[in-house]
Amino acid sequence: MTPRHVRALRGTAAAAVATIVAATAHTLAGGGAPAPALVAAVGILAAPLAVALAGRRLSVWRVGAIVLASQALFHLAFAITAGADPAAPHAHHTTVLAGGVAPVALPDAPMLVAHVLAAIATVAGLYGGERMLRALGRGIRSILARARVLGTLPAVPRRLASHRVQVTRPAQAVLSGLSRRGPPVFVIAAR
């Protein structure tokens, strides 16, 4: 993979994961469940920005910026689409500014806490996950390199066990009644 491909993959994956986690945190914090099409649309819209922010090297700050941008884009899109329907459960996010000019999506405290916790978990997961995948890839490459080296070594002839021919003698009959059994020599010498 070229660095450009890695950057595109990192940015797109980070935007997708951040958007899904943001939608989950948004729902758990009391907002309505977003439509899957809205989550997909926000993920697609966040991808180019995430690829631009991804950079050539993995960085916690860049991953954090991607997650923050994806979550802000998702929250804004969901607040705007929920504001279009007054019966939507998410209408509490639309607050009119002091001039009364335009509604702005300001999250309440539980929503803000949920988004912050989701952002922290997402950054930790994406950063740690990419580091883990890179370490796993390095390990697999080293194992394959070792296997390649072992496959190219010249074959060493194995030493075959020498075949000794054992000559068996036929059993001889004992013609003497003399027995050679007795105590060991060191017992006799000690007396």
Residue with tokens 């017992």: 187
Look at residue 96 and tell me whether its pLDDT is greater than 80. no
Return the DSSP state at 93.
G
pLDDT at 142: 92
The model's pTM:
0.61
8 Å CB contact between 82 and 90:
yes
Handedness of CA 94, 24, 16, 111 (dihedral sign): positive
**Most confident by average pLDDT, 58-62, 136-140, 170-174:** 136-140
pLDDT at 141: 93
160-169 burial string, b = 16+ CB within 10 Å, else e? eeeeeeeeee
Tens of pLDDT, residue by residue over 121-162, are 989 998 899 899 889 999 999 999 888 877 776 666 666 666
Tens of pLDDT, residue by residue over 9-59, are 888 988 899 889 888 888 888 777 888 888 899 889 889 988 888 888 888
